[in-house]
Structure 1
Amino acid sequence: MMQNKAKDRGLSLTTIDGAISASIFLATTSLTLSSLIGTWLAYSSQQRLRKNSLIYGNTSSSINSVKYIALLICFLLAFGSFLQCVRNFVHASFLITMPNAVIPVSYAQKAVIRGGACWSIGLRAIYYATVLLLWILGPIPMFIGSVIMVLVLHLLDRNVTPHSISLKNLS
């Protein structure tokens, strides 16, 4: 049961507040970029864009539309994931700050773990959107960007310190 004093909850609430702020910023950024891409799609369907000699591969309007729609879907997925992240972290914060309540710790743990999972999905969508942005320039920049992204994520996401979180008790 969670019965901490108010002074003991400060660090956890500060950490959750930072994650909420970052999630709100990334959700706003994703929504803004989605709006810009939607506007670009509407503009490019009305105007025939010049073909640039720097862009390799197929530059037909249908392929360009597929590229922009895939990019739009990535940013909308990131937006939804970050919103769910905020929802879960706010719920965890609410559970932690309940005065004189006997709340099982697993409830707050579940909310924080779900918030972290949504955060991870949102970041993955933004990483994938970065590679899709390179696809607009052609298949070669996209391939190079994909290889670099895999290497960077491999270095950043390695679990060199195993954690002991048991998820089977949280469901």
Structure 2
Amino acid sequence: MKVTWRKEHLDVILVPASLFVMFGYHIFLLYRYKRYEHRTVIGHENHCKRVWVERMLKIQAVDRSIAVSVISSNLSAATTLSSICIVLSSLIGAWVGSNSRNIFKSSMIYGDTSESIISLKYVCLLACLIAAFASFFHSARCYVHACFLISMPDVNIPVEIIQKPVIQGSTFWAIGVRALHFAATFLFWVFGPIPMFASSVITAVLLHTLDKTNKPLHQFQPKQSNNLLKKAGQEINAANRVIEPQA
């Protein structure tokens, strides 16, 4: 029995291949982050944030306005992106319910243009946008909690208590951005399986270039001048304590 090639068969081959490329790369990135955190950009960023929180807790709570401003800027960015994602989801939902999607049944699209596949394309795109919205929403929640903790006066808070929501906010942010990358891949599927496969390969190559680093983790040490001043101040205080009993 001879099998006749049809353009609809291209979706069966290239769509799973595209998903394999995207999921395969992110599984590899997760493995690399768990085993060799210092070789990923995400690991470097988390290291810097941990040190930043540690340094900020060494100053008085009334002087931590710059820390609150930094966290608030991340909070604003997460809130903005979550709003954009939910708006795009609403637009896609309205688009699916209209007849304008018939323009994607054009003969110029080399692939399956059946009604069920078109609906599946929009469902996958919508799912990625909703996942991105949820991730950015939880990122904003973590940053709000970090703002409350880091601005709390007259209390001894362990560093790990504040580091945790800051790192969690950064993690949810990264997940939201990755969900948008998947959404972009599914968006290209609307125009056919070939653009989807090409975009997934290009995205994976670019992300691999941007996510890796060979630079060692920087050890943020206090400035030497500050140490000298602190040491001089301690010596002056010690001398004053010796002189006071004699007086």
Q: 1:158 aligns with which of 212, 227, 232?
A: 212
Kept after mapping to 1: 8 A contact 2:125/2:186? yes
Normalized per residue, the structure richer in helix is: 2
Distance 1:41 1:15 in 2: 39
TM-score, with normalisation over the residues of structure 1?
0.87
Distance 1:130 1:48 in 2: 18
SS at match of 2:152: coil
Q: 1:72 aligns with which of 126, 136, 142?
A: 126
Tell me what 1:54 maps to: 108
Distance 1:63 1:163 in 2: 47
Q: 2:164 aligns with which of 110, 113, 117?
A: 110
What is the alpha-carbon root mean square deviation over aligned residues?
Answer: 1.9
Identical-pair percentage: 45
Q: 1:134 aligns with which of 175, 188, 192?
A: 188
Tell me what 1:167 maps to: none
Look at both structures and tell me which one has the larger radius of gyration over its CA atoms. Answer: 2
TM-score, with normalisation over the residues of structure 2?
0.61
The alpha-carbon deviation at position 119 of structure 1 amounts to 0.2
The alpha-carbon deviation at position 60 of structure 1 amounts to 0.5
Q: Alignment length, in residue pairs?
A: 162
Kept after mapping to 2: 8 A contact 1:75/1:125? yes
Distance 2:74 2:64 in 1: 16
Unaligned runs of 5+ in 2: 1-53, 219-247
Q: 1:26 aligns with which of 81, 85, 91?
A: 81
Distance 1:102 1:42 in 2: 55
Kept after mapping to 1: 8 A contact 2:61/2:154? no
Tell me what 1:10 maps to: 65
Distance 1:127 1:135 in 2: 13
Q: What does the per-residue CA deviation read over 1:103-149, in whole Å, with 9 as the maximum and x for residues that have no partner?
A: 11101100001101100000000011011100000011001101110
Distance 1:7 1:95 in 2: 13
The alpha-carbon deviation at position 7 of structure 1 amounts to 6.0
Distance 2:160 2:128 in 1: 32
SS at match of 2:156: coil
Unaligned runs of 5+ in 1: 165-171
Tell me what 2:239 maps to: none
